[in-house]
Structure 1
Amino acid sequence: MKRIKNNSITNSSDSQILIKGATIISMDDAVGNFVKGDILITDSKIEAIGHNLEAEGATIINATGMIAIPGLIDAHRHAWQGSLRRLMPNVENLTDYVSDIHFAFARHYRPKDMYTGTLLNMISCIDSGVTTVIDASHNARTAAHSEFSIDALEDSGIRALYAPGKPLAGDWENHWPEDLERLQKERFQSKDQLVQLAMFSQPDRDNWSVARKLNLPIITEMLGAEMSALLPSFQKEGLLGPDNIFNHVTGLTDEAWQIISESGVKVIIDPRSDAQYALEEGVFPYDRAIQNGLKPAIGTDLESAYGGDMFTEMRVAFSLQRAFGQNRRYNGDKSSLHHMSVKDILESATINGAIVAGLGDKTGSLKPGKEADIVLLRTDDINIYPALNAIGAVVHAADRSNVDTVMVGGRILKSAGKLLGIDQEQLKTLVDESIGYLFEAEGYQPNIFAEEYIPSAKNDGFWTAI
């Protein structure tokens, strides 16, 4: 299969880019914000932020009327499912999702399908201002499946933490987690690479031991009373620490939250998927995280039901948090929820995500010395004009149509509202072929006007097989 590599031009070490006249939201208290400021980029890094910066010979980006923000960070995404977008928009629970994705289509995935779904997903991320993704790739059926997933991440030009995991159903090579050591030696030799390695695993002492031997972050979907009950023994055995990243964290007990906080575990909340897939309480636990002294990141999870842009995720998180608070007050509960501000939610979508991914020294905020992961948003577009509050405009009004420029490590991947360096028609051809193959392999007859989700009868009773 011919790879589709992003051939946009990389900013070379002897050249500079100067962003002029932007409204800068740095997400760094020491740097501060600028009503109108400049950002100087040398090679892949931010060299300076300030007023009236000059750099002879630099490429100038006129950002007048634009807001500059750090690239958005999606801290929880299963990118391999990119080709199955909105296949089940009305799915109501986790059982039906797992049945019809993992116990059906996932079993037929070839390495090239992993590549196609992941690349489509990542290019879409870049298009909507996401510059970093934690990719929980839980369909690593063979070593080649992992290789092709990594190829897709690299070819897109995005920054990513790649976390392969064991498939939930069907035949596979049983090469994981041992193959992580090979991947680390062959594909992840430098901490300066845009794509870094992690492990995706449910609570498992042996798996976690392999990850720690290799010094890899461990990503786990942690939710519910049953999983909460595991944490006291894990804490007692010294198995919890800052290298643990817990997704969802809904339905956890008070004791579990205390252990997470004491152990330095990092958490990711998922405003839409907890409700869509009826996970435990169905409520994303932003407030529980804040009450326990944690700084949660935000993830979209997957696109088999809904869209995957972070602007929507931020708005859903803000609105739901406010709704929870008002509902409690209306029903006589005098305990107050954390008063979420637009700055809080943008932190969860930027610097908090970077810290969770172990990339806080590289990205998540605009600061001299950090990598130039920058997004410019047009504020003269009619849906956002006038931008009377910059952070409010980003969180409450902006969408992918306002994303003018996207830069990852000093490399411009989107400019003047257009993706650069990627053959979109070639990508669509790959997607069409992959979908056709998967539908035929599963014997699936799509209904593009389906009003109600109906699970596949042939997969009934799968849950007991997990």
Structure 2
Amino acid sequence: MSATDSGVPGGPTGAADRPVLFRNGLVLTMDDAHTVLPAGDVLVVGERIAEVGVGLTAPPGTLEIDATGGILMPGMIDTHRHMWQTAMRGYGADWTLTQYFVWYYLESGKLFRPEDVYAGNLLAAIEAIDAGVTTTVDWSHGLQTPQHADAAVDALEAVPGRFVLAYGNIQQGPWEWATSPDFRDFVERRLRGRGDLLGFQMAFDVTGDPTFPEKAAFEVARELGVPVTTHAGVWGATNDDGLRLMHEHGFMTPGTVYVHAATLTNDSYHRIAATGGSVSVSTESEQSAGQGYPPTWQLRHHQIPVSLSMDTSVWWSGDLFSAMRATLGADRSREHLEAHSRQETVTHCHLRAEQVVEWATRGGSRALGLDNVVGSLTAGRKADVVLIKNDRSPVMFPILNPYGHVAFQAQRGDVHSVVINGRLVKHEHQLVGIDLAKARREVERTIEHLVSTMGEEAWTKGMNPDVPETTVLDNPYTYTEWDAGSAQWKH
């Protein structure tokens, strides 16, 4: 039975209930040995990968997808994306990090209603699976009320992807929202027992205030058995003091994900390495916004595990092809510059395309504690599979270095088919069972709300901000006066 047996636009009838066999593709398994099959098959039965090999036998009723001329790889994993901001795609293209803080933390971000969080999450979730990102961490620091949190989860559950809700609230201290009855109630109502399709982290930053008020939130995370994800090493916002406090109080764990980690000293990198944590690198963000130079060159030196992320579509793309490409460029640029400063020449690249493809797949599964679930095309793992194939593109041939092709040549438009948890969610370049028109309507309502509330002039100016009227301190967190930049109290 072929992939052309379709009863609905964009996908085969009953594909969610039928075995799926990808046949004759170049298979990047991303298993421990990085096995590559030049003309391999991947068989999906139920929620899992049943077999990976050559010339596999199709069970009765199987949907066969011709992968000839394409690359089969595990679904990509984004470990840090502020999905609620996606309704404002591209709005902040010329922002600095300070302008981002002013808009979202201090001024207009407070205008987001629960339905606006829903709209952003819905569009972001759809965008992710369309680009072959099968697992996305929703770094959801816009959850001002339990209603906002419910809306965030409603959107994630409306899209057939794999998500992790990283619960946060930039308008309130983590020691306040994490210890509130409303938060506990939400966890019990919406997150308990959801399995690996909806994971849970707690998302908050540590300012370096020596009184360490964030300790209460870490204690809640420990009690709930939930990992923490935190923006660490962000210029003017978080620094070594926060990590030192975490370490001294025993809150740096193997499950902790440090986002950016771009302005840390060797002392902090040693602490991360020693405690088994990992770093989520958002290269496009770090290069453009100003968190610090993308730190992969340091992380490689300290042998700290890396995953990749896109941060927010208010600036950049929402796909990990861009992340891989930018990361290779930044790391190699730093290596060349360091060598030139010593009057030397780099003759061999230390960071290879194969490594960043691993960061985009296994790096994410390891960081999220899902490495026995997803991250590689291995029999028994959950079936999150991406086929990169575009017969209409002159860029799809020849495929000589498959890792290099994924990292430097492929684009989101080349994502032919996507399977998540055994369900075909994209086929022949079209989303399956996705109501894109609804997402468009939701986003339009959010934009209408923001424009009408702010006023046309303020809305337009926000895209091209002058020196902001709001007093800007190094500390962007409205819930504390501690200034991590100058390490003193503001009066």
Per-residue CA deviation, residues 103-137 of structure 1 (Å, 9 max, x unaligned), is 23321111110000011011111111111111110
For 1:411-450, what aligned pairs fall within 5 Å after superposition? 411-445=423-457
Alignment partners' CA distance in 1, 2:41 and 2:127 = 28
Question: Would the aligned equivalents of 1:143 and 1:175 in 2 still touch at CA under 8 Å?
Answer: no
Amino acid at match of 1:367: T
Counterpart AA for 1:131: T
Shift of residue 193 of structure 1?
Answer: 4.1
CA offsets 1:130-173 (integer angstroms, 9 cap, x no match):
11111110011111101110111111111111111122379x9x
Question: 2:240–2:268: 8 Å Cα contact kept in structure 1?
Answer: yes
Cα–Cα, structure 1 residues 409 and 207, in superposed 2: closer, same or farther, change >3 Å?
same
Separation in 2 of the partners of 1:289 and 1:153? 32
Question: CA 1:396/1:25 → structure 2, altered by over 3 Å: closer, same or farther?
Answer: same
**1:258 and 2:270 matched:** yes
Q: Go from structure 1 to structure 2 and tell me whether the alpha carbon gap of 1:10 and 1:106 turns closer, same or farther (over 3 Å shift).
A: farther
Which amino acid is the alignment partner of residue 41 of structure 1?
A: V
| Equivalent residue number for residue 135 of structure 1 | 138
Q: How much does 1:377 deviate?
A: 0.6
Distance change in 2, residues 1:237/1:335 (3 Å): farther
> Match of 1:230, SS?
helix
Residue number in structure 1 paired with 2:223: 213
Equivalent residues in 2 for 1:138-157, closer than 5 Å: 138-157=141-160
Helix, strand or coil: the match of 1:383? helix
Correspondent of 1:90 among 74, 90, 94: 94
Shift of 1:447: 7.9
Following the alignment from structure 1 to structure 2, what is the Cα–Cα distance between the partners of residues 264 and 298?
Answer: 17
Are 2:309 and 1:306 aligned? Answer: no
Flag the 1:369–1:335 CA change in 2: closer, same or farther, 3 A: farther
Q: Which runs of 5+ in 1 are unaligned?
A: 1-5
Equivalent residues of 2:310, 2:316 under 8 A apart: no
Which runs of 5 or more residues in structure 2 are unaligned? 1-9, 207-213, 479-491
Deviation larger for 376-385 or 224-233:
224-233
Equivalence for 1:74: 78
Percent identical among aligned pairs is: 27
| Cα 1:191–1:427 shift into 2, 3 Å | closer
CA RMSD of superposed structures (Å): 2.7
- Alpha-carbon displacement from aligned partner over 1:267-295 (angstroms, at most 9, x marks no partner): 1111111122111xx31110211111222
Comparing 353-362 with 437-446, greater Cα deviation is found at 437-446
> Which residue number in structure 1 is paired with residue 185 of structure 2?
182
**Number of the residue aligned with 1:317:** 327
SS in 2 for 1:38: strand
Q: Secondary structure at the match of 1:238?
A: coil
Distance 1:414 1:176, change over 3 A: same
Give the TM-score normalised by the residue count of structure 1.
0.91
Task: Determine if contact 2:16/2:424 at 8 Å carries over to the other structure.
Answer: no
Are 1:367 and 2:381 matched, yes or no?
no
- Match of residue 261 from structure 2: 249
Match of 2:44 in 1: 41
Aligned to 1:391: 403
Q: Which amino acid aligns with 1:269?
A: V
- Name the CA distance, whole Å, in 1 between partners of 2:336 and 2:47: 45
Could you tell me whether the CA contact under 8 Å between 1:91 and 1:97 is conserved in 2? yes
Counting only pairs closer than 5 Å after superposition, residues 262-277 of structure 1 correspond to structure 2 as 262-277=274-289
Distance 1:367 1:165, change over 3 A: same
Residues 340/143 of structure 1: CA separation in 2 closer, same or farther (3 Å cut): same
* Contact kept? 1:31, 1:367, Cα under 8 Å: no
Counterpart check, 1:197 vs 2:200? yes
Q: CA deviation at 1:181?
A: 2.8
What is the number of residues matched between the two proteins?
Answer: 455
Q: Which residue of 2 aligns with 1:287?
A: 297
Other-structure match for 1:122: 125
Q: Once the 2 structures are TM-superposed, how far is the Cα of residue 210 of structure 1 from its aligned partner? A: 0.5
Please give the alpha-carbon distance, in whole angstroms, between the structure 2 residues aligned to 1:135 and 1:462. 27
Q: Which amino acid aligns with 1:303?
A: S
Give the CA deviation at 1:426. Answer: 2.1
- How many Å apart are 1:55 and its aligned residue? 2.6
**Of the candidates 444, 447, 465, which is equivalent to residue 454 of structure 1?**
465
CA distance in 2, matches of 1:416, 1:451: 39
Partners of 2:281 and 2:308 within 8 A in 1: yes
The letter for the 1-side match of 2:99 is D
Pairwise CA distance, 1:85: 1.1
Q: Call closer, same or farther: CA 1:286–1:374 in 2, change over 3 Å.
A: same
Deviation at 1:175, TM superposition (A): 4.5
Quote how far apart the aligned CAs of 1:192 are: 2.6
**C-alpha displacement at 1:451, in angstroms?**
12
Shift of 1:442: 2.0
* Cα distance between partner residues in 2 of 1:390 and 1:259: 35
TM-score normalized by structure 2? 0.86
